[in-house]
Amino acid sequence: MIDFVAQGFNELLASSGWELAAVILAVAYLLLAMKQSQWCWPAAFISTAIYTVLFWESALLMESVLNAYYLLMAVYGWWAWHQKSDVSQERQIVSWQLSTHIKVIMALSLVSTAVGFLMATYTHADYAYLDAATTVFAIFTTWMVTQKVLENWLYWLVIDGVSVYLYIAKSFNLTALLFIFYCIMVLVGYAAWKKSFLQQNEVV
């Protein structure tokens, strides 16, 4: 574990300025999202724009396409968070019922399996099913963030945890360190949003 952390920090020192900027802005996005600050979306936009180019140039095409999607969702997220739930309030946090989450998870799992099968059959993708699952779930969970669905943080916890495994397996140790940090911070983010959700729904 110590060797992994040391290698990650060595990669941080050796990383390009663009990659470092993307990582810093990705962290800024998460911290700002935790505070429900609309400025999380500009940070996400710039970070994902950088990653889109970096991944494309490195022939990580699926990751590049996913970040291009994040780029569009950053624009949509900025717009969605500016919409009013009524004339006097900004968009509020919502919570979905367990039955809704079960349906969503089942549907996304089916899509992930289908995509994973196609990747495993017609491409040379490593960890095709896991890679497909993280991508499919990340696409939907990003939309959940734009709608301020409370449980998005729990989805991200699982997605980021699986991503840590994938990035370590592929020797992307710097990115793995970033996602380990994400796993810790999403718990803080969930607690912060849960507190706000309970406060906004208090019976006066």
Extract the tokens encoding 97: 């019922």
Give the orientation angle of helix 17-34 with respect to helix 40-57, to 10 degrees: 150
Domain span including residue 188: 2-200
Rounded CA gap, 63 and 146, in Å?
21
pLDDT in tens, 103-139: 999 999 999 999 989 988 887 777 888 888 988 999 9
* Higher per-residue confidence, 155 vs 12: 155
The alpha-helical segments, DSSP class H, found in 58-126 are 61-81, 98-122
CA–CA separation, 67 and 87 (whole Å): 34
Q: Using an 8 Å Cβ cutoff, are 80 and 90 in contact?
A: no
Which has more pLDDT, 156 or 167?
156
Q: Are 143 and 152 in contact (CB under 8 A)?
A: no
43: part of which helix (H) or strand (E)? Answer: helix 40-57
The C-alpha atoms of residue 119 and residue 101 are separated, in whole angstroms, by 26
Structure tokens at 170: 């592929």
Give, in order, the Cα–Cα distances in Å from 127 to each of 117, 120, 167. Answer: 11, 8, 11
Instruction: Tell me which amino acid residue 113 is.
Output: T
5 residue type, one letter: V
Query: How far apart (Å, rounded) are the C-alpha atoms in residues 103 and 101?
Result: 5
Give percent above pLDDT 70 in the chain.
85
Distance CA(128)–CA(62), nearest Å, equals 11
Say what the pLDDT of residue 5 is.
Answer: 55
The contacts found for 24-31 with CB under 8 angstroms, 24 or more apart, are: 25/50, 26/178, 27/178, 27/181, 30/182, 30/185, 30/186, 30/189, 31/185
Asked if pLDDT for residue 203 goes beyond 90, the answer is no
DSSP code for 89 = -
Q: Give pTM, 2 decimals.
A: 0.78
* Residue 2: predicted pLDDT: 56
Instruction: Tell me how many domains the chain contains.
Output: 1
> What is the per-residue pLDDT across 3-52, written as a single tens digit (0 to 9) for each?
655 555 565 545 567 878 888 898 899 889 888 898 999 999 999 999 88
For residues 136 and 155, is the Cβ–Cβ distance under 8 A? no
